[in-house]
Structure 1
Amino acid sequence: MKFAYKFNNLLGTVYRKGNLIFSADGNSVISPVGNRLTIFDLKNNKSNTLAIQSSYNITALDLSPNGCLIVASNENGETYMISTLSQTVIHTYKFHREPKCIRFSPNGKLFAICIEECVYIFKTPGIITGQFNSFVIERIFKDTHGEKIHVDWSYDSRFLVVGSRDNTTRIYSVKLLENFKSVVLSGHSDSVVTCAFEDNSLNIIIVSRNGHLTKWECSMKSEEMYELEYVRDEEPTNKRQKETDSDEEEDNLSEEEENAEKIQEDDSERDKQGKVIPETAEKPRFYYKKLVRHYLMDELKKENRNVKLTSACYHKKLKLLVTAYSIGAFYLHELPDVSMIHSLNISDYAIDTVTFNSTGDWIALGVSGAGQLLVWEWQSEQYIMKQQGHNNVMSSLTYSSDGNFLITGSYDGKVKVWNVTNGFCILTFSEHTSGVTSVAFSRNKKFFVSASLDGTVRAFDMLRYRNFRTLTAPRLVQFSCVAIDYSGEFVAAGAQDVFDIHLWSMKHGKLMEVLSGHEAPVMTIDFSPNPTSSALVSGAWDHEIKIWNCLETSSEHETINMMSDVVCVAFKPNGEEVAVATLNANISVLNIKSSQQLYSIECKKDISLGISENDIVSAKKNFESAYFSSIVYSSDGECILAGGNNKYVCIYHVKEGLLLKKFEITQNLSLDGMLEFINRRNMTEFGNIALIEERDKLEGGNIKIKLPGTQKNDIASRNFRPEVGVSSLKFSPNGQQWSAATTEGLLIYSLDKGIVFDPFQMSIEVTPKAARELIHEQEYSSALIMALKLNEVNLIQEIIEQIPHTQIDLVLDAIPETFVRRIADFIAKILNSHHIEFYLKWTCSLLTKFGQKNELIDSQILINLHQNLIRKYESLNQICEFNKYTIRVIKKMSKVKIDEECNDDEMLLINNNNSEEMVSDINEDTSEE
């Protein structure tokens, strides 16, 4: 088994907090999801999460105009410069406080960052500026009044407008001007939410939190602003000391002469235009005049007096203003008339951010309270994208039998179906009225079941997308786990309050049996994956696991004492062994037939449990409570993947009992339980300062501590840091990836598809040159064997595609059986080629000759082959459906054209015949004469 698993994608979370930005072409949305960034490609319907991690949640970001750089900052003030081409962090800059807004200039040479009372102007590294160092400061604007929360650039990148929390707005010039000082605009009764320059103008639009829209007109036109002269930077004192007085006088004379020449040239130009201005005339003053004020929330305040304007965005070219409010509604207005174009209520929570794309057709909205991300096309009034993650911690996950879909259940009572290929949620089922504790997928790919604390087990149809069956117990119980047998005919669920296991018939929907015997809550059950076995293994907190032969004799079972509480069981893919994870951080492997312990893995030293900010015990004492709550076998059965209430996922070799690799699922210090030691600065004479109740100043007084005793599903209206942990783990059926349901979301790790030199039965004479020479000599089997020994994908593809399709059976007959699995594995992965029929012939020949031998072509290869075939079929089906009517039109037009050509030919024949008859008549007349 290979262990080169790397982070691939993040599902289950589409938006956490911060602002949204569109790509330069306007076809993609970049969203901050915790301490990561996810790019949603709206044109190709795909999502991709960058492998870059911040140490805290990302709150502000912006993209350069050319789309090559992203500047993102987190809650702790760490600011990252990220290259979108290589998807790596170029440089990190640490501020003392959290940045509130980041904005690039239109020409891309500068970017501004608002931090408390300061606005920092940095040079953008690149060829445009000639500066290749990151975060080089150009200017700093500072005043002691209010915190700066929004910034915008003028169209020529010369001026800044900055909105503050003290209800004022200030205009700054990037370069020092002779007759210009910073301008302060006031008059709002609440903090400024957004402020923006108009297109090709210095007029300003300001929107405050209480819904007041104000437009300010600049006294000077944009052309007149260029007449203001820049103040020359003062030269260093050491250079001045070196210069003599005579040099200074010569320089002053030259400057005066240059100014005089400029004045004369300007006067001559004005004289030509007929406008004579005396030299003593004053230059135009720079000031702003309030044109108009509008109140956008009058109608909303009639319904709800506590409504607030939370976000706004102004599109300069189309002159459109979108405003979002705390009641989950957004309005679209057209300026300068402020006529409302559209209004829509999308959520029960406040909309945190809103933005336009470059063309102004799409509006992106983020709702952190519900974890929603929406892209709305206002002209057609349709959703381009509508995604929502789970509101609470994920409790379980499972793969479909072909590996194309992921099913997740959460304590918010929802079950979601995720497409692994594009990363989008395609279905959401909300029939459960309480938290979902477990989900399981049937092997026939037609349905899956979910168990919930509301006392029901529901079955959902994947063909018609509906809840077609609801299974209940004779009395109200809380189900904690669920499993489906190999045939898909029976469903079993364990209860955590009555200590029983309920068994239903999936076909009839009737309760068949209630299996009793446990004396504590049943936490885990699993059916044997062997089609010839009907074994059911259950584990509970009574230190016992029970092996039930429930389909033959339901009352008989075998009990095995595990010396500690059982938290999870997992069957080996062949169904002969079962792994048991207990509360003392041990993993035991048992034989299912003899009930004997085969292997034991001690995991206590591999678990690195973090310290919560509310903990009052020591790290050593807290370490004793560490354990793995979820385990799963790899697809080949050689390794076990384990995770629990910590930030690590471990891979163990079963037979050797060794730790092979350790994955750190997150580096986000915004989560609780990440630190390994208590911060002594928080320890006072009164105890841990984190246990003291605190309230936010500006957000309504939310309490920052959670309910006592709750760890996962705290549904109270309190603000607390979620605790890091892994609730469920699953391997993909094809073995190419595994997934983890964590506090951050659904993390997917897959094998690195890069070029890795991994030869097989290597020798000196095996080279790519020798393989190509053999293929030219038409020795196809020898060339293919040599390519398989080198194990380079490009070379294998080159050799196989040069073999004639008539020689496939002969080549397979001459290939040793040790290479058959490598050929099958290669063909199963290379089906994205455009030689579809050619590789299908290879597949048919392989399955015909070696399909009965499981040791040559195992189920993992067949699942991968079937998965790729389905994807290819779906893509071709979409292309055919899209072009079907076009082909019909072309065929009809070709028939019409053929008919017209036939008609033209007939007319020519008729005309020729008529002309021949006329000539013959004339000849006859002349002969008679």
Structure 2
Amino acid sequence: MNFRFQNLLGAPYRGGNAVISNNTLLLSPVGNRVSVTDLRKSETTTLPIQASSNISRIAVSPDGTFLLAIDDNNRCLFINLRRRALLHRITFKHRVGAVKFSPDGGLIAVAAGKLVQIWRSPAFRKEYFPFELVKTFADCHAKITAFDWSPDSKYLLVASKDLTARILCLKKLSGGDKYKPFLFLGHRDSVVGSFFGVDSKTNKVSKVYTVARDCYLLSWSFTGDEDEESSAPPSPGTPDRELDGVVKKRKERETEDGGGYLCRGKWELLRKDCFNQAPAKVSACHYHRGLDMVVVGFSNGVFALYQMPDFVCIHMMSISKEKITTALFNDLGNWMSFGCAKLGQLLVWEWRSESYILKQQGHYFDVNCVAYSSDSQLLATGADDNKVKVWTVSSGFCFVTFSEHTNAVTALHFMANNNSLLSASLDGTVRAWDLIRYRNFRTFTTPSSRQFVSLAADQSGEVICAGTSDSFEIFVWSMRTGRLLDVLSGHEAPVHGLTFSPTNAILASSSWDKTLRLWDVFDGKGAVETWHHTHDVLTVAYRPDGKQLACSTLDGQIHFWDPIDGVLMYSIEGSRDIAGGRLMTDRRTSANSSTGKCFTTLCYSADGSYILAGGSSRYVCMYDVADQVLLRRFQITHNLSLDGVLDFLNSKNMTEAGPLDLIDDYNSDIEEGVERQTRGNLGQNMPGSVANRGRPIIQTKCLRLAPTGRSFVAATTEGVLFYSVDESFIFDPTDLDIDVTPEAVDKALDENQPNIPAVATSIPCSYLRRLIEALASLLENCPHLEFILRWSQELCKVHANSIQQNSRSLLPSLKSLQKSITSIHQDLADTCSSNEYMLRYLCSSSPSK
């Protein structure tokens, strides 16, 4: 039961700004979480810390230790990135448009509406309120869009929607001079980016670049000090006393405010260049000081790389047809990262070699179905965007996307050999995919078009079955020939549940006609038996040993049947367990509402001892099958940007026209020429629909538990949530007495010198499961491969009878061991294959005796 959240698949990026830490770690917001991608190891993980709503802005400290994450409700989380621990929280009074650490890491600049707030960066000190407001600038007349720190952390270059950019000085000027921020004028649209440029010789700021939204870049040059008395050289007749005063005054200014040269100096507009991308607008930009390069992303999906200050276009490429919402360099400047929120697309491109380092794209709409491979290494997802994606569970990366379907994908099934995948769709086809050559090698169709909503295959992989939602029939095909073998009729409503028995060729189907039917596909046509219920049957699942059948009904109950005797064993009342969460349009509270409290997906554990259930709720419930009790509830999200998360709604947000959250009168994104970035169900993205003005409803559409039993996935509105067993060591003494001590163990080893077969023989059967799990865990990271393989071999030899007798309880751990051995074998095979020609060359070139 010790499952914990580990990763989020299906959406690598969903909006906001991305940052790169330590040159190789790419951090991007995914809903109310932050995803961390290691570009060197090609692995992605998701931080377990959740914000209260969708994260809009993030910033990382220069040393990569701290992370700031600010959500749409202006609530900020201060996170220790290396420990993945939440340190502090703070709420800002205005909407945050930009946030950035200073180069020395001591300060944090926050653009809160029209204000620029400078905060002292919290550290590891134990304080009651570690955030300290150092200074506030209120010079801008409109919302602040971006800013940039000077290398010495003493100046800020602030860009705003008031068509200007300003230089702000953090330190007080000497001599009682009145501070006036320098204004960079001449823009005809809001400034979306402003950057300091430095002189390569003196490492001081000598130029400024400002990027306007109307596709213009302005270059400014620093020309000198405004104070002629302090900047101009003294005349030859100047007395020594006055000369000493000028030098002393200049030294005082340099000591107190770093010279103040940026505040007193003169700036000159050198040139104004156009990107020539009209009618598109600039949506993202970034500048690399060391290379003196600017990368710009546009609302038409094009990005361009320019060498400054001569404005020479090095690269220009179109990566999509949607708005690029983030663009940035890494520290070395050899990689550029781009994100498109509407497509869930995240790219990392190396501009010198013109190759992709990372290319990931999530599902555009909600994921409907997921499927595990038999070795638990691969995960397939199907969604309403007509695509099927296959992910590597260990790395969290999608390595292939199939887009041949023309309608939503509703069901998936991995074949036993892991080399092929089946998918059913509303377009009337069931397709078989080859995972070695990455192609659609067979398509199953019907004489007239049907909409398939369920899918199953027998253990041998010879027979494929699919249930429909329009004709209420079940179609049976031959996997080898692709020919339609049979059509099973009898249901009077959509067939949303379909599964084969793990031990025989009996097919179980559930339908909204309140029946559960068993079919003998091979021996005879028609239903073997029909079991009636009082409510619609939503889904069905077989226990792994084939001796029990579970189905969920519309009244929130889970019924357990004996498929051999055909009797109802027991039922679980789960409507109260899954209850929770009130929608914005609900007239009643969640406790008084009787609608939607049902399970739409079920999944047995590998040993059949417990069952997972999920539905139109924010909870995933785990039940003990033998005792029919609730073991644990997993809350899949705390994101208030989704509907159905809160149990109680604030009456202050209710008006005569309805809830304030459903009244959208903020039209800034439409004014910028880009529609609002919305995700969710199909109805919530159709223009003009009422649901489009609402929020996605939290729900769980599909649950699958890995064959190893150590992880499970949930296809939810937030994405595909991946949960796994906690790997931390827990000391659980069993069969130990006071005589068993480390000293006694060392003495016994010295005296007897036992070998592996002797020790394996003396291990009690009660320790087999734990020992096999320990070997599977060690095999993934331990370098002593032969040692662990010898232990595994001897255990299987000595305890063969015990393994057969306790196969049900040992099956998850054995599959976990098989997964680890298969992964190591594949890595070694790839290494040997790549070095085969090198080995042949070395053998042939060896000197003859």
Provide TM-score, normalisation by structure 1: 0.83
1:32–1:861 CA distance, 2 compared to 1 (3 A): same
Contact 2:145–2:160, Cα closer than 8 Å, also in 1 = yes
Q: Specify the alignment match of 1:235 in structure 2.
A: none
Contact 2:488–2:525, Cα closer than 8 Å, also in 1 = yes
Please, which of 837, 848, 854 is the counterpart of residue 804 of structure 2? 854
1:888–1:183 CA distance, 2 compared to 1 (3 A): farther
Task: State how far apart, in whole Å, the 1-side matches of 2:446 and 2:530 are.
Answer: 24
Please, which of 210, 219, 224 is the counterpart of residue 220 of structure 1? 224
Q: Does 1:716 align with 2:658?
A: no
1:541–1:263 CA distance, 2 compared to 1 (3 A): same
Deviations 1:887-927 (Å, cap 9, x if unpaired)?
Answer: 677778875xx99xxxxxxxxxxxxxxxxxxxxxxxxxxxx
Task: State how far apart, in whole Å, the 2-side matches of 1:671 and 1:311 are.
Answer: 27
Query: What code does the residue aligned with 2:611 have?
Result: I
CA apart distance, 1:399: 0.3
Task: State how far apart, in whole Å, the 2-side matches of 1:95 and 1:193 are.
Answer: 22
Q: Specify the alignment match of 2:732 in structure 1.
A: 758
Deviations 1:82-134 (Å, cap 9, x if unpaired)?
Answer: 1112111110110122211111111212120101110011112348x999963
Task: State how far apart, in whole Å, the 1-side matches of 2:303 and 2:633 are.
Answer: 46
CA apart distance, 1:203: 1.8
CA apart distance, 1:767: 2.8
Task: State how far apart, in whole Å, the 2-side matches of 1:115 and 1:376 are.
Answer: 32
CA apart distance, 1:870: 1.8
Task: State how far apart, in whole Å, the 2-side matches of 1:72 and 1:268 are.
Answer: 44
Q: Specify the alignment match of 2:21 in structure 1.
A: 23
1:766 partner SS: coil
1:772 partner SS: helix
1:196–1:514 CA distance, 2 compared to 1 (3 A): same
1:312–1:638 CA distance, 2 compared to 1 (3 A): same
Query: What code does the residue aligned with 2:558 have?
Result: I
- 1:884-903 mapped onto 2 (5 Å cutoff): 895=847
Please, which of 2, 22, 25 is the counterpart of residue 4 of structure 1? 2
Q: Specify the alignment match of 1:79 in structure 2.
A: 76
Q: Specify the alignment match of 2:611 in structure 1.
A: 640
Once the two structures are overlaid, the 10-residue window that deviates more, 430-439 or 717-726, is 717-726
CA apart distance, 1:173: 0.4
In structure 2, the gaps of 5 or more residues are: 233-239, 252-260
Q: Specify the alignment match of 2:214 in structure 1.
A: 210
Q: Specify the alignment match of 1:828 in structure 2.
A: 776
Query: What code does the residue aligned with 2:510 have?
Result: G
Q: Specify the alignment match of 1:55 in structure 2.
A: 52
Contact 1:616–1:688, Cα closer than 8 Å, also in 2 = no
Which has more strand, going by share of residues?
2
Q: Does 1:819 align with 2:823?
A: no
Contact 1:630–1:642, Cα closer than 8 Å, also in 2 = yes
Larger radius of gyration: 1
1:143–1:371 CA distance, 2 compared to 1 (3 A): same
Looking at both structures, which has the greater relative contact order when contacts are Cα pairs under 8 Å and sequence separation is at least 6?
2
- 1:127-206 mapped onto 2 (5 Å cutoff): 134-143=130-139, 145-178=141-174, 179=177, 180-199=179-198, 200=203, 201-206=205-210
Q: Does 1:39 align with 2:36?
A: yes
- 1:192-271 mapped onto 2 (5 Å cutoff): 192-199=191-198, 200=203, 201-220=205-224, 263=244, 266=247
Q: Does 1:118 align with 2:139?
A: no
Contact 2:606–2:811, Cα closer than 8 Å, also in 1 = no
Aligned-residue CA RMSD (Å): 3.0
- 1:208-607 mapped onto 2 (5 Å cutoff): 208-220=212-224, 263=244, 266=247, 285-297=264-276, 300-301=277-278, 305=279, 307-530=280-503, 533-607=504-578
Contact 2:31–2:718, Cα closer than 8 Å, also in 1 = yes
Query: What code does the residue aligned with 2:271 have?
Result: V
2:805 partner SS: coil
CA apart distance, 1:443: 1.6
1:773 partner SS: helix
CA apart distance, 1:881: 5.3
Task: State how far apart, in whole Å, the 1-side matches of 2:241 and 2:69 are.
Answer: 49
2:593 partner SS: helix
Task: State how far apart, in whole Å, the 1-side matches of 2:48 and 2:249 are.
Answer: 63
2:57 partner SS: strand
Q: Specify the alignment match of 1:875 in structure 2.
A: 827
1:220 partner SS: strand
CA apart distance, 1:559: 0.7
CA apart distance, 1:679: 2.7
Percentage identity across aligned positions?
A: 37
CA apart distance, 1:647: 0.9
1:445 partner SS: coil
CA apart distance, 1:182: 1.2
1:143 partner SS: coil
Task: State how far apart, in whole Å, the 1-side matches of 2:819 and 2:686 are.
Answer: 43
Task: State how far apart, in whole Å, the 1-side matches of 2:641 and 2:263 are.
Answer: 52
Task: State how far apart, in whole Å, the 2-side matches of 1:265 and 1:865 are.
Answer: 79
CA apart distance, 1:80: 1.2
CA apart distance, 1:859: 2.8
Deviations 1:769-799 (Å, cap 9, x if unpaired)?
Answer: 322222122264xxxxxxxxxxxxxxxxxxx
Task: State how far apart, in whole Å, the 2-side matches of 1:148 and 1:586 are.
Answer: 53
CA apart distance, 1:615: 3.1
Contact 1:702–1:719, Cα closer than 8 Å, also in 2 = no
Task: State how far apart, in whole Å, the 1-side matches of 2:241 and 2:107 are.
Answer: 34
Contact 2:159–2:193, Cα closer than 8 Å, also in 1 = yes
1:809–1:618 CA distance, 2 compared to 1 (3 A): closer
Equivalenced residue count is 816
CA apart distance, 1:177: 1.1
In structure 1, the gaps of 5 or more residues are: 229-258, 271-281, 781-806, 900-929
Task: State how far apart, in whole Å, the 2-side matches of 1:346 and 1:177 are.
Answer: 47
Task: State how far apart, in whole Å, the 2-side matches of 1:325 and 1:97 are.
Answer: 27
Once the two structures are overlaid, the 10-residue window that deviates more, 204-213 or 885-894, is 885-894
Please, which of 783, 787, 810 is the counterpart of residue 838 of structure 1? 787
Task: State how far apart, in whole Å, the 2-side matches of 1:735 and 1:48 are.
Answer: 20
Task: State how far apart, in whole Å, the 2-side matches of 1:225 and 1:452 are.
Answer: 79
CA apart distance, 1:808: 2.6
Which has more helix, going by share of residues?
1
- 1:611-760 mapped onto 2 (5 Å cutoff): 611-690=582-661, 692=663, 694=665, 696-700=667-671, 714-717=684-687, 718=692, 720-760=694-734
2:760 partner SS: helix
1:809 partner SS: helix
CA apart distance, 1:737: 0.6
Task: State how far apart, in whole Å, the 2-side matches of 1:330 and 1:765 are.
Answer: 71
Query: What code does the residue aligned with 2:765 have?
Result: E
1:847–1:698 CA distance, 2 compared to 1 (3 A): closer
1:374–1:225 CA distance, 2 compared to 1 (3 A): farther
Deviations 1:611-663 (Å, cap 9, x if unpaired)?
Answer: 22233444445344311111111111010101111111110011211111111
CA apart distance, 1:809: 2.6
Task: State how far apart, in whole Å, the 2-side matches of 1:269 and 1:624 are.
Answer: 77
CA apart distance, 1:763: 2.5
Query: What code does the residue aligned with 2:266 have?
Result: Y
Once the two structures are overlaid, the 10-residue window that deviates more, 721-730 or 129-138, is 129-138
Contact 2:169–2:263, Cα closer than 8 Å, also in 1 = no
Query: What code does the residue aligned with 2:222 have?
Result: C
Task: State how far apart, in whole Å, the 2-side matches of 1:74 and 1:632 are.
Answer: 34
Task: State how far apart, in whole Å, the 2-side matches of 1:772 and 1:227 are.
Answer: 80
